[in-house]
Structure 1
Amino acid sequence: MKFQGVLFFPVTPFAPDGSLDEELLAQHIASGVDAGAGGVFVACGTGEFHALAPDELERATRVAVETTAGRVPVLAAAGGPAPVARDHAVRVARAGADGLLLLPPYLVTAPQRGLVRYVEEVTAATDLPVVFYQRGTARLSAATAAEIAALPKVVGLKDGLGDLERMHRIVRAVRAGEGEDFQFFNGLPTAEMTAPAYRGIGVDLYSSAVFAFAPEIALAFHRALADGDRALVTRLLDGFYGPLVELRDEVPGYAVALVKAGVTIRGLDVGGVRAPLLDPTPEHLARLAELIDRGLEAVAA
């Protein structure tokens, strides 16, 4: 399973009564795939994995699989305590996903050997290819990353720490054992801000939350980065992505809430976020709408 292009992390729409809205999710995913997504990662971080019941995770995955109809790979999340993550893995496979994004266990800080054990136990519950997400309490050494990458079902590693020196050591160690086929992903919030730096250490793939609400901007940035169009990259970083990050950092949880609000601003009312997150204030919504307009203007220019 090889990924190319912009990776789409859809939001999870909720109906007015708070339930999962499968019809809106299908519309959201279909529009993203039609726009040119290289892969769909459903019910992951941007999709409020932390707030979904297991059956909602399974239903959302099934919607994504049916909507994409094999046009692009579909991965869904699993994580938390090992027994829960194994249950997630079974559900995601049953729903027809092509792979699994394995999030780290919560609350505890594990030794390196414990992280390997966690991945071994979860991957034993599924035949699906697995991408491991390094973030939070799961901080891998280069040696541990190489050991996890060597597990039969692990095909990728996504970084959510942003420690470039650590990540560079990991890339070198894994490549030495697994070669160029193993895939690395930049998984930081608003990953475009760090995409140029990650490319410098051999990590070209990244998750784009912006693609969920402004695929025109996300695709233009991705093309400009690949083509070496520094003028457009700089224009978008300075005029859109940088101010978006400043707004994002004003309230914890806005890395998700702003994305969901952006989808609604662009015409698909996907509802608000679930607790413990909060929806953006009217002032912040106005700033977000202005930023989207600014980004679209920069692309058009």
Structure 2
Amino acid sequence: MNGTRTAPTGILGFPVAPMDQQGRLEVKAFERNVEFLLQEGLSAIFVACGSGEFHALSHQDYRVMVETALSVVQGKIPVYTGVGGNITHALELAKLSEELGADGYLILPPYLIEPEQEGLYQYLNAIIGSADLNAIVYQRDNCVLTLNTLERLLEHPQLVGLKDGLGNMDLNIELTQTIGSRLTWLNGMPMAEVTMPAYVNLGFQGYSSAISNYIPHISRLFYDALLSGDQELLNELYQHVILPINAIRRQRKGYAVALIKAGMQIVGHPVGTDVRPPIISVEEEHYRKLERIIKEAFERFPKTGSSQKEANTPA
């Protein structure tokens, strides 16, 4: 990879991994998911990460998803993959991502182990150094870096960003204010719209939007209102869409993934609501609540403009 390395900014799309009743990947549904995100103007596509059920994908499904995304996107926006878990698997997926032509990868936490900082350094150092692709470290769970560890990794020009899913603002301030623009800072908190106002003030330049899979116009309204200081619109979006959806998401572990599929099903994207164990599907009561919120979202904040691909009401 030549030229200046940069990580994607703005609203980042994380497609799901649709499946049939036998647990097989529904490739056509995945293809439509990526097409939708591309049409709706998201800044980048991150394939086979958390929303894409990285934890349960076969090697073949992973390959097909990356190949499909690259075929759909055709270089219009960056395509990143998810790598991580056990070190051998992570290195294999990093190499495969490079061979298939991805732009970079998001490094998910290592498998199970609660490592020391030196162990985390060795894990990330091995992955980042194994390929010439852009690398983004996902800070969360058992992958929490100190300033010293992150600074050691900066020797790799491939390291272009850090995505924070931890929410430790003291640490975020220390990292962003010390390292500055050497890295791109991305908000990866669950339902990142909830916390993005705090992150923007620290220099975070983008976030992963789960709701962009089914109401991307709300993601765009929110981010534009945040950056322009439209507090009245922000308050309305929080009150009627963002906080109500977040309240449902917090009801069950795994809803960060399952609720996306439920939302997509509600608006007419045929991905089904089945998810791979140990994640559980959205319960009927919560599905109906989400359905009502999405209906109100389209009524209060209708899609407008030439980019509209569907009706202003959910299917």
The question of a shared fold, defined as TM-score above 0.5 by the shorter chain, is answered with yes
What amino acid is the match of 1:4?
Answer: T
Asked if the contact 1:80/1:106 (under 8 Å) is kept, the reply is: yes
Instruction: Look up the equivalent residue of 1:38 and give its one-letter code.
Output: S
TM, length-normalised to structure 2: 0.91
- Taking the aligned partners of 1:148 and 1:236, their CA distance within structure 2 comes to 38
Mapped to 1, the partners of 2:56 and 2:106 lie a distance apart of: 16
The aligned amino acid for 2:135 is: V
What corresponds to 2:278 in structure 1? 276
Equivalent residues in 2 for 1:209-220 (5 A)? 209-220=210-221
Alpha-carbon separation, structure 1, partners of 2:100 and 2:28: 17
**Aligned-pair distance for 1:216?**
1.3
- Per the TM alignment, residue 283 of structure 1 is displaced from its structure 2 partner at its CA by 1.1
**What are the Cα deviations for residues 140-196 of structure 1, in whole angstroms up to 9, with x where unaligned?**
112222222332211111001011111110112222xxxx25201000010000000
Q: Which residue of 2 aligns with 1:30?
A: 35
% identical equivalent positions: 35
Secondary structure of 1:276's aligned partner: coil
Q: Following TM superposition, by how much is the alpha carbon of 1:91 offset from its aligned partner in structure 2, in angstroms?
A: 1.7
Q: Which moved more, 1:65-74 or 1:18-27?
A: 18-27
| C-alpha separation in 2, matches of 1:17 and 1:290 | 30
Query: In the TM superposition, what is the alpha-carbon distance from 1:204 to its structure 2 partner?
Result: 2.5
Answer whether contact 1:57 1:92 (CA < 8 A) is retained: no
What is the number of residues matched between the two proteins?
297
Distance in 2 of aligned mates of 1:151 and 1:190: 30
Q: Does 1:125 align with 2:130?
A: yes
Q: Is residue 13 from structure 1 mapped to residue 18 from structure 2 by the alignment? A: yes
Counterpart for residue 152 of structure 1 = 157
Equivalents in 2 of 1:225, 1:123: separation in Å? Answer: 33
* Deviation for aligned residue 1:74: 0.2
Matched to 1:84, the amino acid is H
- Give the match for residue 208 of structure 1: 209
| Aligned partners of 1:100 and 1:129 also within 8 Å | yes
Q: State the partner residue of 2:45.
A: 40
Per-residue deviation, 1:206: 0.6
Q: Which runs of 5+ in 2 are unaligned?
A: 1-5, 304-315
1:291 aligned partner: 293
Are 1:167 and 2:168 matched, yes or no? no
Q: TM-score, normalised by structure 1?
A: 0.95
RMSD, aligned α-carbons: 1.4
Structure 1: stretches of 5+ with no match in the other structure: none
* Per-residue CA distance 1:182-240 (angstroms, 9 max, x = gap): 20100001000000000111113110001011111111111111111111111111221
**1:52 & 1:141 partners in 2: Cα distance?**
31
Aligned residue identity for 1:287: K
Aligned AA for 2:275?
V
What is the Cα deviation at residue 94 of structure 1? 2.2
